[in-house]
Amino acid sequence: MTKRPLFDRVAIIGVGLIGSSLARAIRLHGLARHIVACDASRPARDKVKELKLADTIVADAGLAATGADLVVVCTPLSSYAAVGKAIGTRLRRGAILSDVGSVKHTAAAELGAHLAKGVHLVPGHPIAGTEHSGPAAGFAELFVGRWCILTPNAAASRAAVDKVATLWRRCGMKVETMDALHHDRVLAITSHVPHLIAYTIVNTVSDLESHTQAEVIKFAASGFRDFTRVAASDPVMWRDVFLNNREAVLEMMGRLYEDIALLQKAIRLGDGEMLHTVFTRARAIRRSIVQAKQA
């Protein structure tokens, strides 16, 4: 039984881990008649060609967007302004513009700035990833069982939002829509602040005396090991996340500081009861997450 493809021509701008996984999933599930892959990097385009991930491969975003009924921007957030400008007037009436960025309020502003009339802006964030990057790191199953959050702007039609939701559902995701700023606050504490801490702790280690540092690497226990995996994620992507979600990240860091200070004081004072209470509470939250099947 073959289903009619959801889209005629999908352009994927930026074929890193997410973009290349999306291309693979679209092909695997027959979601588009034609896949256009666009990347400014020559090695990335060569890899896409070698892996046969797309029907057409181009370097120019404006060219990629021309004639597409769906464009999904999968580049780092710092290129959104330029990409928005390059494709805004090339999109045809009725086309849908979406993305996969981790910060949504700036995505809408930058991708929407030059948008032609009648184009539907439906920003999205598939919450999925690994610590690896680049087109060779992608795989079609990356999205299965995970959440995708859509933050459509008010002018986007219900039909356009539904089509993007269907795309991600067919890739295996659960989909929900949300206000962009609310998304950014939730992700600040679930994802951005944890990454910031992980990066920091790994750097703190790299400043230790060299013989201690060598032993830290050698004996990397659970805890540090998990943190370093988080800290292995793409530096450009994460730089852009922090620059774009500054307010929410700084607010959540402020809250975290207060809580760390309390625990630190409990350690200094030898307050075992307080430590035990806090640790027990954390364990209960972990159970909620396991029950929500996100673990």
Which residue number, 2 or 280, has a Cβ lying nearer to a second copy?
280
Which residue number, 118 or 235, has a Cβ lying nearer to a second copy?
235
Which residue number, 91 or 148, has a Cβ lying nearer to a second copy?
148
Instruction: List binders of a second copy among 182-241 (CB under 8 A).
Output: 182, 185-187, 189-208, 212, 215-233, 235-236, 238-240
Taking the complex as a whole, the smallest distance from the CB of residue 242 to a second copy amounts, in Å, to 5
> 98 — phi, psi (to 5°)?
-135, 180
User: For residue 234, how far is the Cα from the chain centroid?
Assistant: 11
Q: What is the C-alpha separation between 93 and 90, in angstroms, rounded?
A: 10
Taking the complex as a whole, the smallest distance from the CB of residue 237 to a second copy amounts, in Å, to 9
Which residue number, 7 or 199, has a Cβ lying nearer to a second copy?
199
Taking the complex as a whole, the smallest distance from the CB of residue 222 to a second copy amounts, in Å, to 6
Q: What is the C-alpha separation between 33 and 35, in angstroms, rounded?
A: 7
Taking the complex as a whole, the smallest distance from the CB of residue 191 to a second copy amounts, in Å, to 4
Which residue number, 46 or 226, has a Cβ lying nearer to a second copy?
226
Residue span 252-281 as binding mask against a second copy, x where in contact by CB under 8 A, dash where not: xx-xx--xx--xx-xxx-x-x--xx-xxxx
Which residue number, 140 or 149, has a Cβ lying nearer to a second copy?
149
Residue span 139-178 as binding mask against a second copy, x where in contact by CB under 8 A, dash where not: --------x-x-----------------------------
Choose the binding region for a second copy from 13-21, 23-31, 38-46, 243-251 (rule: CB under 8 A). 243-251
Burial classification of residue 211, based on how many CB atoms lie within 10 Å of its CB (0-12 exposed, 13-18 middle, 19 or more buried): exposed
- # residues contacting a second copy (CB under 8 A): 90
Classify each residue of 135-174 as buried b or exposed e, where b means 16 or more C-beta atoms within 10 Å of its C-beta: bbbbbbebbeebebbbbbbeebeeebbebbbebbebbbbe
Which residue intervals of 101-234 are DSSP H helices?
Answer: 105-112, 158-170, 180-187, 193-206, 210-218, 224-230
Instruction: List binders of a second copy among 4-63 (CB under 8 A).
Output: none
Taking the complex as a whole, the smallest distance from the CB of residue 148 to a second copy amounts, in Å, to 10
Q: What is the C-alpha separation between 165 and 94, in angstroms, rounded?
A: 16
What is the strand order of the sheet 120-121 is part of?
56-58, 32-38, 7-13, 70-73, 96-99, 120-121
Instruction: List binders of a second copy among 76-95 (CB under 8 A).
Output: 78
16, 72 Cβ separation under 8 angstroms: no
